[in-house]
Amino acid sequence: MPPIPLRPPNTSTLHPWAVVLAAGKSSRLGEAGVETRKQFLQWQGVPLFWHSVRVFARTAGLRGVVVVFPAEELATGEAWVRRLIDAEQPGIPVTVVQGGTLRQDSVRHGLAGLPRECDVVFVHDAARPFVRPALVVRLLTELRDTSAVGVVPGLPVTDTVKQVHEGRVLSTPDRASLQAVQTPQVFLRVLLEKAHQHCRQYGWTVTDDASVVERLGAEVRVVPGDVGNIKITHPDDLNLLKELTVPAISVPCVGFGYDVHRFGPGRPLRLGGVPFPGAPEIIAHSDGDVLLHALADALLGCLGKGDIGELFPDSDARYAGIDSAVLVSEVLELVRRGGLQLTHVDLTIVAQVPKVAPRREEIRRNVARLLELEYGQIGVKASTEEGLGFTGAKQGIKAMAVVTAMRPSGPKNAEH
């Protein structure tokens, strides 16, 4: 067995991409009379495969997505992707490749379509349209912070499992040691490519990518999965795509956030996740994105949960240089758990330098993508202070954020 590839020396500079597998034949649904392949079924106005693309586009740090379509549906898939990119501007590159006969062939084709700089790859089934960014972040964090070369989401098995042959029970495994795994699964690219090369060379047939990597003797870890991350497989599963009745939401709430950072030797300036090359550097523990820090505080204000300094203290080395979009994603997960429905976000940047106006719409699109809101629900403004104060003296930058939301009325609200 060849040696297992080493982890990259600096995991803080990972370049993760995602491969979304939309090359299945949907045989079970076809046998039930469903003519459209499930990856092209419409849900909330777009085909199922695009929901996975959206999630990866909204996940902090993801650099791009490769979508794998069946050969006979490649033109259809390409046309959908072009239209959806034009309509939504996902903010990351989305490319298309042709799949293969087996799932493992499609994964191999997807890997071949990744750019050279990609060193970490997620593999996800388009038939799981309910995946959320928080799960993607959880997987990437585990890969970055441990010795694992692959990480998968798993759920405890609740039913007793029997090993059966020709109708006869052979054994009953202890279900305490069993997990049902999901996608997405994330791996070091060099290792996953090597595993699939062996898969092809030795004729292995596998049902998920982790099992290929495991055959190389590499360490694969499991993190808690998401019970809502359901796979559309059987005809009855199509009921999950029916619009759910939304409970009455009647209590408005408003959160305000404010943050300041000094200019000085430190970190490159970013505003709303958008880099400003040539601008003054920021003195900060994290990446110093003053706008996203104000936004995170405003979101926490809607929940009555203090500020990001309490959740992500600058005394914790884990957050040194961290992408502020990751922090916002973590706060957004708290917003979801609290049952809040965001309605509008208004952001203001106050600085003498740099000039924000030329990048204002880019910031607006990026924040909308990060919060999973429509473009029209985000307002971004920039102002100077006419040469007054520390911003006028070009000593620093500040930002303010106002978030409006609706929260469920009733006893649950009291918990938050």
Domain CATH code at residue 150: 3.90.550.10
Q: 314 and 213, same structural domain?
A: no
Q: Percentages helix, strand, coil for the chain, rounded to the nearest 5? A: 35, 25, 40
pTM given for the model? 0.72
Q: Given 241, 273, 302, which residue is the final one in a domain?
A: 241
What's the structural domain count of the chain? Answer: 2
Q: How far apart are CA 385 and CA 352, in angstroms?
A: 7
**Residue 160, domain extent:** 11-241
CB 233 within 8 A of CB 127: yes
Q: 272 and 389, same structural domain?
A: yes
CB 56 within 8 A of CB 136: yes
Q: What is the pLDDT of residues 76-112, one digit of tens each?
A: 999 999 999 998 889 899 999 999 999 999 999 999 9
Q: Given 217, 241, 265, which residue is the final one in a domain?
A: 241
Q: Is residue 1 part of a domain?
A: no
Q: 307 and 338, same structural domain?
A: yes
Phi, psi of 327 (to 5 degrees): -65, -45
User: Given this model, what pLDDT does residue 3 score?
Assistant: 55
Q: 48 and 99, same structural domain?
A: yes
Strands 341-350, 378-383: pairing is parallel
User: Given this model, what pLDDT does residue 68 score?
Assistant: 98
Q: 262 and 237, same structural domain?
A: no
What CATH number does residue 320 fall under? Answer: 3.30.1330.50
User: Given this model, what pLDDT does residue 250 score?
Assistant: 55
Q: 266 and 236, same structural domain?
A: no
Q: 38 and 160, same structural domain?
A: yes
Q: Is residue 333 part of a domain?
A: yes
| Region at 152 (left for phi over 0; alpha for psi -120 to 50; beta for the rest) | beta
Q: Is residue 348 part of a domain?
A: yes
User: Given this model, what pLDDT does residue 339 score?
Assistant: 86
Q: 179 and 31, same structural domain?
A: yes
Q: 67 and 195, same structural domain?
A: yes
Q: 109 and 26, same structural domain?
A: yes
User: Given this model, what pLDDT does residue 5 score?
Assistant: 52
Residues of the chain with pLDDT under 50: 8-11, 244-247, 249, 411-416
Distances (CA, A) of 83 to 24, 90, 125, 132, 374: 22, 12, 21, 23, 17
First-to-final CA distance of the chain:
53
Q: How far apart are CA 349 and CA 240, in angstroms?
A: 42
Q: 396 and 327, same structural domain?
A: yes
The token pair at 42 is 């419409």
Q: 116 and 42, same structural domain?
A: yes
Q: Given 188, 216, 241, which residue is the final one in a domain?
A: 241
Give the containing element (helix H, strand E) for 328.
helix 324-337
> What's the alpha-carbon Rg for the chain, to the nearest Å?
23
| Region at 108 (left for phi over 0; alpha for psi -120 to 50; beta for the rest) | alpha
Question: b or e along 182-194 (b: 16 or more beta carbons within 10 Å of the residue's beta carbon)?
Answer: bbbbbbbbbbbbb
Q: Is residue 335 part of a domain?
A: yes
Sorted by sequence, the CB contacts under 8 Å of residue 295 that are 6+ apart come out as 257, 272, 328, 345, 347, 367, 401, 403
Q: Is the peptide bond before 184 cis (omega within 30 degrees of 0)?
A: yes
